[in-house]
Structure 1
């Protein structure tokens, strides 16, 4: 399927068009998700983000304007925003983790407390 056929199929909610879109762009979308999420998330986060991109493309294809960009460019721009939102969500969760002995190794705690005690002396 070429880009016009994929677009026409997506607008008709033809699942074969979604498969063709995924086959054509899965590597680029996965690579971009991986680059943006990076060390912030797990492989599962990257895979889920990749799936979300195609889900949002499927649901919002009516918003696509072929005069402004190619279908590939539109999907990658959608990917950029989905991945940035995912990274923001993941970093927010990391920053909200409570600090306790379960999340910090005892060795780090011992070193930190020893440094504080030395400064007080």
Structure 2
């Protein structure tokens, strides 16, 4: 006797594009590169924009976004959708990498500031630079996120 079920999608594997992020991560954790590539396609632009917003440099932002996806691929088997959505998890990876990169940057002198006796920019000229540096740490600098500004101004954080 033959099977009376009509031929169709009932027996076939589901289309990967129809799977949600958690299911794609489960497949990626098992080594499915195609599933992970779909995640990169879905969320790559958002990761790049986030890195660019923190770093302000397109080349650095691209490197950070690529590194974030590499780390997500390497940690895919340990991803737990009960703890966080994939997008939240990826967002945190991107932000952490971007902040780490800002910490490694050399401090940039502020316009109009002169080096002080200790050689650090922005603290000369009667303490004017110190007041401006405090404004930057408070997130008041033009176009700089507060966290990135604080970490750039205080490399020891």
TM-score by length of 2: 0.53
Q: Which residue of 2 aligns with 1:22?
A: 40
Task: Give 2:122's aligned residue.
Answer: none
Tell me, yes or no, if the aligned pair for 2:29 and 2:75 is still in contact at 8 Å. Answer: no
Structure number with the bigger relative contact order (C-alpha 8 A, sep ≥ 6) is 1
Tell me the distance in 2 between the aligned counterparts of 1:4 and 1:65: 8
Return closer, same or farther for 1:8/1:64 CA change in 2, 3 Å cut-off: closer
* Superposed counterparts of 1:1-121, under 5 Å: 1=17, 2-38=20-56, 42-89=57-104, 91=105, 94-95=106-107
Q: How far apart are the structure 2 equivalents of 1:15 and 1:33?
A: 24
Long gaps (5+) in structure 1? 97-121
Which structure carries more helix by proportion? Answer: 1
In the alignment of these two chains, the number of paired residues is: 90
| Structure 1 residue runs of 4 or more that deviate by more than 6 Å after TM superposition | none
TM superposition score normalised by structure 1: 0.67
- Kindly provide the CA deviation profile for residues 79-118 of structure 1, in whole angstroms up to 9, marking residues without a partner as x: 11111111212x2xx239xxxxxxxxxxxxxxxxxxxxxx
Task: Report the aligned-residue RMSD.
Answer: 1.7
**Structure 2 residues not aligned, in runs of 5+:** 1-16, 109-157
